[in-house]
Amino acid sequence: MERSTQGYTRCLKQESAQCVTWIGQPETRFTFDHVACETINQETLFRMVGLPMVENCLSGYNSSIFAYGQTGSGKTHTMLGEIEELEIRPSPNRGMTPRIFEFLFARIRAEEESRRDER
């Protein structure tokens, strides 16, 4: 088993963008719509998961993101990110929620302008 720099042993192995394997006895494989590794940045995650979700919503479908993990594993950071100075300037480390709302409201604004121009 691989040992991290903090001395912990990994219990999961990411096989693909959809599959992780629990390294135990017996090894167990789990499949998801998407699995993000621990090194992914907020922008990349938003482009892979958030954008398609918002597009689905704008097309009339329901969408959700489910952040799951143990305490301290980064769920809040993934969903909110660094939001302290969000009103002043967007942080490159802002999470999914602010990015989704930014994109959603930008699309609504663009749609309103497009309809106004048609009249």
Binding residues for ATP: 69-76
Binding residues: 69-76
Distance separating alpha carbons of residues 46 and 90, to the nearest angstrom: 14
Contact 73, 37 (CB under 8 A): no
Q: Which one, of 100, 107, 18, lies nearest residue 63 by Cα? A: 100
Q: What is the DSSP letter of 48?
A: I
- Measure Cα distances from 21 to 26, 51, 73, 119 in Å: 10, 27, 18, 55
Distance separating alpha carbons of residues 46 and 40, to the nearest angstrom: 10
